[in-house]
Structure 1
Amino acid sequence: MTTRGRRSWRGPARRRNSVASMRGEFVSRLPKKVLDAVDPERPSHVDFSRSKGLPEGEREYYEKQFATLRSFEEVDSLESNEINEEEELAEQNQSEFAMKISNYANIVLLALKVYATIKSGSIAIAASTLDSLLDLMAGGILWFTHLSMKSINVYKYPIGKLRVQPVGIIIFAAVMATLGFQVFIQAVEKLIVNEAPDKLNQVQLLWLYSIMIFATVVKLALWLYCRTSGNKIVRAYAKDHYFDVVTNVVGLAAAVLGDRFYWWIDPIGAIALAVYTQFQIGLEQCGKMQTVLLLLSVVILRAVSLVGESAPPEMLQKLTYLAIRHHPQIKRVDTVRAYTFGVLYFVEVSVCLLVYFIILFPCPSFAQEISCVVSQCNQELDNVAVDIELPEDLPLKEAHAVGESLPNQDRGAP
């Protein structure tokens, strides 16, 4: 059965296979030279500076083991988080409003900056306009993903539409890389030709100042509004608005200084903005600079997320600990899988229960509790598939009875 992992877990933490007992057994078996490094007041912390004669390989091994125990303590410290539906709805409405006004503003400002580029002929303004196009496309991808996930035909899309976003990001990265490279080439060509363009007249300067200052003020106001939101997507919009303020100021300064003093300031400003735009895309999608070709990193990163890469071992350890500790009637945990599913993780947990527990308790509610515990472990989880295995010695008649009861119970699951 598959359930959504997005509700709060209401049950208390179970104390079966607790981290305290695991830690006690682990510490009791440590050699003397490692035991000397254990902090008596905090048994999960070690200071190997107090231990002598411990090889580097053994030190790394024990450091990883104690780090695992500390991660299990974090799991045990998870508390019940009741969801206030009214507050959640109000926050969702505020987030949608922020995304709407941001997208509408991006459309209007892009049109104005295209006009300013045509009127001024400044390649630095063209590079700043490219950044506005970046924001519009990125915002469109996020908004389309948000809308498509709100209304899903489970018969047509049984696993949802989470992979729409990484596909859109791959297309977006390819388009922006092409446009940015084109602006870069044009700026370099102007420097090679070494011919000063015509000066801007008063009307052109008036349009240039008006549009760019207006765009900067609007983006500054949107940044101040969006940065206070608790929604991750809205905060991403705030970051884009802040970058736009920077590119607008740099673009306007390069265009004006190039017109009034040295013409080559304009193409140099365009080159700087083109490189900055590509660097900005790479940092937003990769989280850090992984290679010189940042946009290539974006494509590779999102392509891997579509394939279904396994979660880190640390996360799998936490998930396994969560599953075995969830309820004392869990006989064993057979399988725990977690892999990328678009931009989020999909988790599969296979457990075996005692037969009377299966019959007396509704399986969907049990699956909901497991999914909630897993979702509290990591906020990047989307779905949790819980497979409940019947004991091998269960009589066939009773197995059919349990199987017949599951569809009726499953209809109550979210």
Structure 2
Amino acid sequence: MDMSTVEETRQVSGIDPLRFPSNKPIDSSESVPLFADCAGKSSPVNVDDSTVKEMDESNARLLPRSPAKYGYLEHIQSYKPSCTPNDKSLPEKIRQFYADQLEFINSVEAILLPKTFGEEINPTDYQKQQERNSEILSMLTLITNIFVAIIKTVAAIMSKSLSVISTLVDSAVDLLFNIMLIWTARKIKRQDAYKYPTGRTRLEPVTIVIISVIMCSASIEVILESSRALALDIDYFANPFNASSCRTLQHIDMSTLPVIAMVFTIVSKIILFALCSRINNPTMSALAEDNRNDVLSNSVALVCGVIGSNALQRRIRQEAIIVDPIAAIIISIYIIVVWIRQGHKQVRRLTGLTADPFFLQRITHIIYNFRPDLVTQIKTVQAVHHGTDFIVEVEIILSGSTPLAIAHNAGEELQRQLQRIPHVERAFVHLDFEIIHVPTLEDIIV
């Protein structure tokens, strides 16, 4: 089979990136067989020169662009002018679709486009910059949480507000969370190829799971204490006060210092949320979500604490004092729900959750554009979570007559190319010369 037949068949049976089933759900328990034929046989057709010329002219009118030099990269790039996510006249869903397509095209270009000597960039520079930014933000968050915990402790002692106390518990656990994240980052950096051959990136999600358990336990204690205080307040108003009764309302004093402490906490958490949201990794996502939750919980605590203080001083109806323990219960329940969701997400990643379809598409197109003179088919593409990053496993089909040295070099080159993709920790490339093997007979499925 000559090389022209291979290239012709690849052009005819190509994969359209805008028609790839990106919304199709993928079962994490199964591999993803993607049989993309890259070579085939064509039956000879006897045509004269005039017919061939006429066909070429017709094709030139229908396909003004010549076949891509790097497989279908130019074909993928040809869709970029059609993607207009900034066109306000289009519906929101269509603009989001175009934005997703542009992101996909740019991500494929980042790997496949050749670079000159002056433009060659270390593929890990971006990841290193992200890691440095994560470290800086982790330290900044730690310093902020230390200061917030100190002033909030003073505010809780002075105000005696249960809603403020509930946010103090949250801040104390946040401080512990930051300390554990910094410890985790240092452990991950100290790689030991003998004890941990695949790295220790799974320490991050394990830390988040542990913190979620601690946060939920602390919030349950706040709920119990707030429920007791709420029951006493309700009993106080249900049974009119008399001279022989010793029941009193809880003391709440939201003076200037507690209010300033709460306002400072809200403003600082808003700034940290905006900064952490710019970095896409599980640690910063957890910090961003935690800062957002702190903004909401501290805002509710401030408002309800002020209402309770004014109710105790009879500036408003005294019955409004029950707002304070109710707010503490609501804040604690909200914290529990948020951290349970965060912990559940990390547990799924620890147990080998498959990558999303967008990530699998990206890998598939990169493989499809790799060495069209050697690769005849793509048999399997898998990508599963390995802590914060992915383990990628692919199987490609080569001709049975390919020399071992050439096949080995091709597999090694593809492995390096896949490991240039951000968040790919390791890539494994399997080479085969036929596709009749059943995956269940070759792979161990637990």
Corresponding residue of 2:417: 369
State which of 6, 13, 35 in structure 2 corresponds to 1:21: 13
Query: In the TM superposition, what are the counterparts of 1:58-73 in structure 2 within 5 Å?
Result: none
Is 1:346 matched with 2:391? yes
Identify if the C-alpha distance between structure 1 residues 360 and 128 changes in structure 2 by more than 3 Å, giving closer, same or farther. Answer: closer
Corresponding residue of 2:210: 171
- Paired amino acid for 2:297: T
Q: Percent identity?
A: 24
Corresponding residue of 2:426: 383
Taking only aligned residues, the RMSD between alpha carbons, in angstroms, comes to: 4.2
Corresponding residue of 1:7: none
CA contact (8 A) 2:229 2:250 kept: no
Is 1:78 matched with 2:108? yes
Corresponding residue of 1:215: 265
State which of 295, 318, 337 in structure 2 corresponds to 1:279: 337
State which of 190, 193, 210 in structure 1 corresponds to 2:229: 190
Identify if the C-alpha distance between structure 1 residues 192 and 336 changes in structure 2 by more than 3 Å, giving closer, same or farther. Answer: same
- Paired amino acid for 1:355: P
Name whichever of 81-90 and 317-326 sits farther off: 81-90
Distance 2:106 2:161 in 1: 60
1:169-224 superposed Cα distances (whole Å, 9 cap, x missing partner): 222222111111221122122122224435456xx734423422332343344345
Hey, which of these two has a bigger chunk of helix by percent? 1
Corresponding residue of 1:263: 321
Distance 2:207 2:126 in 1: 31
Query: In the TM superposition, what are the counterparts of 1:79-228 in structure 2 within 5 Å?
Result: 79-80=109-110, 83=121, 92-194=131-233, 195=236, 196-200=248-252, 205-223=255-273, 225-226=275-276
Identify if the C-alpha distance between structure 1 residues 126 and 349 changes in structure 2 by more than 3 Å, giving closer, same or farther. Answer: same
- Structure 1 unaligned blocks of 5 or more: 1-13, 27-39, 45-66, 286-297, 392-414
Distance 1:16 1:131 in 2: 63
Query: In the TM superposition, what are the counterparts of 1:220-369 in structure 2 within 5 Å?
Result: 220-223=270-273, 225-226=275-276, 229-232=278-281, 233-234=283-284, 237-261=287-311, 262-282=320-340, 285=342, 298-299=343-344, 301-311=345-355, 319-320=363-364, 322-327=366-371, 328-330=373-375, 332-333=377-378, 335-351=380-396, 353=398, 354-355=402-403, 358=406, 361=409, 364-369=412-417
Identify if the C-alpha distance between structure 1 residues 17 and 101 changes in structure 2 by more than 3 Å, giving closer, same or farther. Answer: farther
TM-score (norm 1): 0.62
The alpha carbon displacement at 1:132 in A equals 1.9
Name whichever of 260-269 and 186-195 sits farther off: 186-195
Identify if the C-alpha distance between structure 1 residues 200 and 316 changes in structure 2 by more than 3 Å, giving closer, same or farther. Answer: closer
Identify if the C-alpha distance between structure 1 residues 235 and 179 changes in structure 2 by more than 3 Å, giving closer, same or farther. Answer: closer
CA contact (8 A) 1:216 1:244 kept: yes
Name whichever of 181-190 and 77-86 sits farther off: 77-86
Distance 1:386 1:16 in 2: 26
The alpha carbon displacement at 1:160 in A equals 0.8
Q: Give the SS at the match of 2:391.
A: strand
Distance 2:279 2:230 in 1: 45
